[in-house]
Structure 1
Protein backbone atom coordinates (compact mmCIF):
# COMPACT_ATOMS: atom_id res chain seq x y z
CA UNK A 1 0.00 0.00 0.00
CA UNK A 2 1.52 3.27 -1.10
CA UNK A 3 1.50 6.22 1.24
CA UNK A 4 2.30 9.86 0.69
CA UNK A 5 5.28 10.61 -1.49
CA UNK A 6 8.28 11.56 0.68
CA UNK A 7 9.45 15.15 0.23
CA UNK A 8 12.92 14.17 -1.11
CA UNK A 9 11.25 11.96 -3.72
CA UNK A 10 8.87 14.75 -4.77
CA UNK A 11 11.80 17.15 -5.02
CA UNK A 12 13.78 14.66 -7.14
CA UNK A 13 10.77 14.14 -9.43
CA UNK A 14 10.51 17.89 -10.05
CA UNK A 15 14.27 18.25 -10.57
CA UNK A 16 14.46 15.34 -13.01
CA UNK A 17 11.42 16.64 -14.89
CA UNK A 18 13.06 20.06 -15.18
CA UNK A 19 16.30 18.44 -16.37
CA UNK A 20 14.46 16.45 -19.06
CA UNK A 21 12.59 19.56 -20.15
CA UNK A 22 15.82 21.55 -20.38
CA UNK A 23 17.51 18.78 -22.38
CA UNK A 24 14.56 18.77 -24.80
CA UNK A 25 14.73 22.53 -25.27
CA UNK A 26 18.54 22.54 -25.63
CA UNK A 27 18.23 20.00 -28.41
CA UNK A 28 15.41 22.03 -29.95
CA UNK A 29 13.07 19.04 -30.06
CA UNK A 30 9.39 19.93 -30.04
CA UNK A 31 7.13 18.26 -27.51
CA UNK A 32 5.22 16.66 -30.36
CA UNK A 33 8.36 15.22 -31.97
CA UNK A 34 9.63 13.90 -28.64
CA UNK A 35 6.29 12.20 -28.02
CA UNK A 36 6.30 10.71 -31.50
CA UNK A 37 9.85 9.39 -31.21
CA UNK A 38 9.16 7.93 -27.76
CA UNK A 39 5.90 6.42 -29.02
CA UNK A 40 3.93 8.25 -26.33
CA UNK A 41 1.06 10.72 -26.36
CA UNK A 42 1.77 14.44 -26.09
CA UNK A 43 -0.18 14.74 -22.79
CA UNK A 44 1.88 11.88 -21.32
CA UNK A 45 5.16 13.54 -22.26
CA UNK A 46 3.92 16.94 -21.09
CA UNK A 47 2.97 15.47 -17.69
CA UNK A 48 6.36 13.77 -17.42
CA UNK A 49 8.28 16.96 -18.27
CA UNK A 50 6.13 19.32 -16.20
CA UNK A 51 5.39 17.27 -13.09
CA UNK A 52 7.73 14.30 -13.18
CA UNK A 53 4.64 12.11 -13.18
CA UNK A 54 4.49 8.95 -15.24
CA UNK A 55 5.72 5.41 -15.46
CA UNK A 56 9.30 4.32 -15.17
CA UNK A 57 9.16 2.96 -18.72
CA UNK A 58 7.96 6.29 -20.11
CA UNK A 59 10.76 8.06 -18.26
CA UNK A 60 13.29 5.69 -19.83
CA UNK A 61 11.76 6.14 -23.29
CA UNK A 62 12.13 9.91 -23.04
CA UNK A 63 15.64 9.62 -21.57
CA UNK A 64 16.64 7.42 -24.53
CA UNK A 65 15.39 9.93 -27.08
CA UNK A 66 17.24 12.75 -25.28
CA UNK A 67 20.49 10.76 -25.14
CA UNK A 68 20.37 10.37 -21.35
CA UNK A 69 19.63 6.65 -21.04
CA UNK A 70 23.24 5.56 -20.55
CA UNK A 71 23.62 8.14 -17.79
CA UNK A 72 20.55 6.74 -16.02
CA UNK A 73 22.01 3.24 -16.24
CA UNK A 74 25.37 4.44 -14.94
CA UNK A 75 23.75 6.38 -12.10
CA UNK A 76 21.98 3.26 -10.84
CA UNK A 77 24.99 0.93 -11.04
CA UNK A 78 25.79 -0.15 -7.47
CA UNK A 79 29.43 -0.59 -8.43
CA UNK A 80 29.62 3.20 -8.81
CA UNK A 81 29.30 3.59 -5.03
CA UNK A 82 31.97 2.94 -2.39
CA UNK A 83 29.71 0.47 -0.58
CA UNK A 84 28.86 -1.35 -3.79
CA UNK A 85 32.51 -1.71 -4.73
CA UNK A 86 33.42 -2.96 -1.24
CA UNK A 87 30.58 -5.49 -1.20
CA UNK A 88 31.40 -6.68 -4.70
CA UNK A 89 34.91 -7.55 -3.59
CA UNK A 90 33.66 -9.39 -0.47
CA UNK A 91 30.38 -11.13 -1.19
CA UNK A 92 30.35 -12.27 -4.78
CA UNK A 93 30.10 -16.05 -4.81
CA UNK A 94 32.40 -17.99 -7.09
CA UNK A 95 29.46 -20.06 -8.24
CA UNK A 96 25.70 -20.10 -7.72
CA UNK A 97 24.14 -23.47 -6.93
CA UNK A 98 20.54 -24.53 -7.00
Structure 2
Protein backbone atom coordinates (compact mmCIF):
# COMPACT_ATOMS: atom_id res chain seq x y z
CA UNK A 1 0.00 0.00 0.00
CA UNK A 2 1.41 3.38 -0.96
CA UNK A 3 0.72 6.62 0.85
CA UNK A 4 0.40 9.88 -1.02
CA UNK A 5 1.60 12.86 0.97
CA UNK A 6 -0.24 16.01 0.01
CA UNK A 7 1.72 19.07 1.03
CA UNK A 8 -0.28 22.26 1.48
CA UNK A 9 0.72 24.77 -1.25
CA UNK A 10 2.39 27.82 0.29
CA UNK A 11 1.13 31.25 -0.75
CA UNK A 12 3.51 33.67 -2.44
CA UNK A 13 2.12 36.96 -3.68
CA UNK A 14 3.90 36.62 -7.05
CA UNK A 15 2.44 33.15 -7.58
CA UNK A 16 -1.25 33.67 -6.74
CA UNK A 17 -2.78 32.09 -9.87
CA UNK A 18 -0.76 28.87 -9.49
CA UNK A 19 -1.39 28.77 -5.73
CA UNK A 20 -5.15 29.17 -6.25
CA UNK A 21 -5.29 26.23 -8.68
CA UNK A 22 -3.23 24.07 -6.33
CA UNK A 23 -5.37 25.03 -3.34
CA UNK A 24 -8.58 24.20 -5.22
CA UNK A 25 -7.22 20.76 -6.04
CA UNK A 26 -5.90 20.25 -2.51
CA UNK A 27 -9.19 21.24 -0.89
CA UNK A 28 -11.32 19.20 -3.29
CA UNK A 29 -9.20 16.16 -2.47
CA UNK A 30 -9.92 16.67 1.24
CA UNK A 31 -13.68 17.16 0.99
CA UNK A 32 -16.08 17.77 -1.87
CA UNK A 33 -17.97 20.46 0.08
CA UNK A 34 -14.97 22.45 1.30
CA UNK A 35 -14.62 24.72 -1.76
CA UNK A 36 -18.19 25.98 -1.19
CA UNK A 37 -17.03 27.42 2.13
CA UNK A 38 -14.61 29.61 0.18
CA UNK A 39 -16.93 30.59 -2.65
CA UNK A 40 -20.08 31.01 -0.56
CA UNK A 41 -20.04 31.15 3.23
CA UNK A 42 -19.93 28.67 6.10
CA UNK A 43 -22.61 26.04 5.65
CA UNK A 44 -25.63 26.66 7.86
CA UNK A 45 -27.32 23.56 9.22
CA UNK A 46 -30.96 23.89 8.27
CA UNK A 47 -34.17 21.89 8.52
CA UNK A 48 -37.69 22.24 7.17
CA UNK A 49 -40.15 23.89 9.51
CA UNK A 50 -43.87 23.19 9.80
CA UNK A 51 -44.58 26.58 8.18
CA UNK A 52 -44.83 26.78 4.41
CA UNK A 53 -44.04 29.53 1.93
CA UNK A 54 -46.76 30.96 -0.38
CA UNK A 55 -45.80 28.40 -3.05
CA UNK A 56 -46.35 25.54 -0.57
CA UNK A 57 -42.75 24.57 0.11
CA UNK A 58 -41.62 24.27 3.73
CA UNK A 59 -39.77 27.23 5.19
CA UNK A 60 -36.22 26.43 6.22
CA UNK A 61 -34.87 27.34 9.65
CA UNK A 62 -31.63 26.66 11.45
CA UNK A 63 -31.53 23.21 13.00
CA UNK A 64 -30.91 23.28 16.77
CA UNK A 65 -27.47 21.98 17.72
CA UNK A 66 -29.07 19.29 19.88
CA UNK A 67 -30.58 17.74 16.70
CA UNK A 68 -27.36 17.65 14.68
CA UNK A 69 -26.18 14.35 13.24
CA UNK A 70 -22.58 13.41 12.36
CA UNK A 71 -22.94 14.84 8.83
CA UNK A 72 -24.21 18.15 10.24
CA UNK A 73 -21.16 18.35 12.52
CA UNK A 74 -18.85 17.62 9.58
CA UNK A 75 -20.38 20.35 7.43
CA UNK A 76 -20.40 22.84 10.28
CA UNK A 77 -16.67 22.28 10.85
CA UNK A 78 -15.62 22.88 7.23
CA UNK A 79 -15.02 26.60 7.76
CA UNK A 80 -12.74 25.82 10.72
CA UNK A 81 -10.84 23.27 8.63
CA UNK A 82 -10.49 25.76 5.80
CA UNK A 83 -9.23 28.56 8.05
CA UNK A 84 -6.65 26.20 9.56
CA UNK A 85 -5.41 25.19 6.12
CA UNK A 86 -5.24 28.78 4.88
CA UNK A 87 -3.38 29.91 8.00
CA UNK A 88 -0.76 27.25 7.33
CA UNK A 89 -0.12 28.58 3.82
CA UNK A 90 0.76 32.10 4.94
CA UNK A 91 4.01 33.56 6.20
CA UNK A 92 3.90 35.78 9.30
CA UNK A 93 3.62 38.99 7.28
CA UNK A 94 0.58 37.79 5.31
CA UNK A 95 -0.95 36.14 8.38
CA UNK A 96 -0.90 39.48 10.23
CA UNK A 97 -3.01 40.97 7.42
CA UNK A 98 -5.86 38.48 7.83
CA UNK A 99 -6.06 38.09 11.61
CA UNK A 100 -9.33 40.04 11.78
CA UNK A 101 -11.08 37.78 9.24
CA UNK A 102 -13.84 35.71 10.79
CA UNK A 103 -14.59 33.25 7.96
CA UNK A 104 -12.46 31.37 5.44
CA UNK A 105 -14.17 33.25 2.61
CA UNK A 106 -12.88 36.55 4.01
CA UNK A 107 -9.31 35.25 4.10
Which is richer in helix?
1
Superposed pair shares fold, TM > 0.5: no
